[in-house]
Structure 1
Amino acid sequence: MHEQVEAYYRQEHAAERVKLTVDDVDSLIDTLLCGSDAENMAELHSLGRPLLASGFPDHEFLVGVDKKRSAGVLSFMDEGGNFVSCGRPEGQGDVVFYFVVDNGTEFPDGSEIPIGLVRQATKEFFTSGGLRPKCVEWQEPDW
Structure 2
Amino acid sequence: MVIYSSEDVDAMIDYLASGEESETMATLYSKQRELLPSGFPDHEFLVGVNEERQVGIVSFIDGKNYLSTGVLESQGEEVVYHFVGNPREFPVSAEIPLPLVREAVKEFLLSGGRKPACIEWQEQPAHARDA
TM-score of the pair, normalised by structure 1 = 0.82
Segment of structure 1 superposing worse, 19-28 or 59-68: 19-28
Q: Is the 8 A contact 2:49 2:56 kept in 1?
A: yes
Residue among 82, 97, 114 paired with 1:131: 114
Tell me if 1:35 matches 2:3. Answer: no
Residue among 93, 96, 100 paired with 1:110: 93
Cα distance, 1:93 vs. partner?
6.2
Q: Matches of residues 4-83 of structure 1 in structure 2 within 5 Å?
A: 18-23=1-6, 24-79=8-63, 81-83=64-66
Give the whole-Å Cα distance in 2 for the aligned partners of 1:115 and 1:135. 13
| Cα gap change, 1:103 to 1:140, in 2 (>3 Å) | same
Tell me if 1:100 matches 2:80. Answer: no
Mark the runs of 5 or more structure 2 residues left unpaired by the alignment. Answer: 127-131
Give the whole-Å Cα distance in 1 for the aligned partners of 2:40 and 2:31. 11
Where 2:101 maps in the other structure, the secondary structure is helix
TM-score of the pair, normalised by structure 2 = 0.90
User: What percent of counterpart residues are identical?
Assistant: 51
Give the whole-Å Cα distance in 1 for the aligned partners of 2:107 and 2:125. 26
Aligned partner of 2:68: which letter? S
Cα distance, 1:67 vs. partner?
1.0
How many equivalent pairs are there? Answer: 125
Where 1:68 maps in the other structure, the secondary structure is coil
Q: In the alignment, what sits opposite 2:104? A: 121
Where 1:96 maps in the other structure, the secondary structure is strand
